[in-house]
Structure 1
């Protein structure tokens, strides 16, 4: 069996990150997002945005690998106030020590092999290293696979929701929160 692990992303990983996002969103989110949002993933802007994220010292981008294949990625960093605030705009006491897991994506053909859990645990470790005490993430309410991953890690909806407009559709997102004391089971 091939070795599975996570590691920090480099510039050399950007093309694979773009491909994984494009392929995964087309497979898993086409009905949720609409075609216009998916078409934007094929633009040169997508590559430039991911290259900037990988280079940003305030952001941790990790890739999951199995053998020589890049199979997924995650993005985390300290959460902006706008992401931590409740619906009324009130910040919790721990706002400055809250991390954001912005995305965890594993290419569907590599699913159910522990890559999502390894990525989430690695993101939690990165957030702890940045001084965060807890984490949050936003998930499309219709994305049962991602919700299952976060729930398995002990992260649960906190009652805060938002609606994003993709230009074609609106997407209801729920915020999940949980402990950063996650570990990877080999």
Structure 2
């Protein structure tokens, strides 16, 4: 069943025709949210060309959240092994429940594929994102990393997808 988005639109698998809309959502988030999280030169380095190349070759499953008009308002990308790679909602559509619906769609698909746990990475300084994930039942597991291309600390968040078997 496809979750409804505020009684209009839908969450559906992304197609090649969605690339421009996905890039628009991604860059909107990058340019409006990440200046508070990443150094200015890292934010500026994410050009439209770079973002398009990144999303064109992005592995994994992609779902988009659309408005009734078909406009793409959000995107998530994940792997069936339990890794959420991306979750972005257009700044103008944040707070409508799209992020939660996209995250739920991804975790349900991973659970159906047999994943027992899910994990994702968020910048440590991105407190709004961390608070969102905590509200969705995710927790930091103490693992951190710094990717060379971004140079900023990230924390890993996890969530159980399947009930643990009794021993």
* 1:61 matches 2:62: yes
Q: CA separation in 2, counterparts of 1:129 and 1:40?
A: 37
* 1:107 matches 2:90: yes
2:73: which partner in 1?
Answer: 71
- SS of residue matched to 1:124: helix
- Which deviates more from structure 2 when the two are superposed, residues 12-21 or residues 43-52? 43-52
* 1:23 matches 2:6: no
* 1:126 matches 2:115: no
- SS of residue matched to 1:14: helix
- SS of residue matched to 1:120: helix
Q: CA separation in 2, counterparts of 1:26 and 1:70?
A: 17
Normalised to the residue count of structure 1, the TM-score between the two structures is 0.75
Q: CA separation in 1, counterparts of 2:100 and 2:36?
A: 25
- SS of residue matched to 1:154: coil
CA distances 1:26-75 after superposition (whole Å, capped 9, x unpaired): 1100132223332333242421321222xx4xx11111112222111111
Q: CA separation in 2, counterparts of 1:129 and 1:37?
A: 37
Cα RMSD (Å) = 2.0
Match of 2:142 among 134, 142, 159: 159
Over 3 Å counting, the alpha-carbon distance change for 1:166 and 1:51 in structure 2 is closer
Report if the CA contact (8 A) 2:30-2:43 is conserved: yes
Report if the CA contact (8 A) 1:4-1:115 is conserved: no
Structure 2: runs of 5+ lacking an equivalent: 1-5, 163-167
CA distances 1:1-29 after superposition (whole Å, capped 9, x unpaired): 65142111111111111111111111100
* 1:35 matches 2:40: yes
- SS of residue matched to 1:33: coil
Structure 1: runs of 5+ lacking an equivalent: 79-97, 182-186
2:3: which partner in 1?
Answer: none
* 1:46 matches 2:51: yes
Q: CA separation in 2, counterparts of 1:145 and 1:67?
A: 27
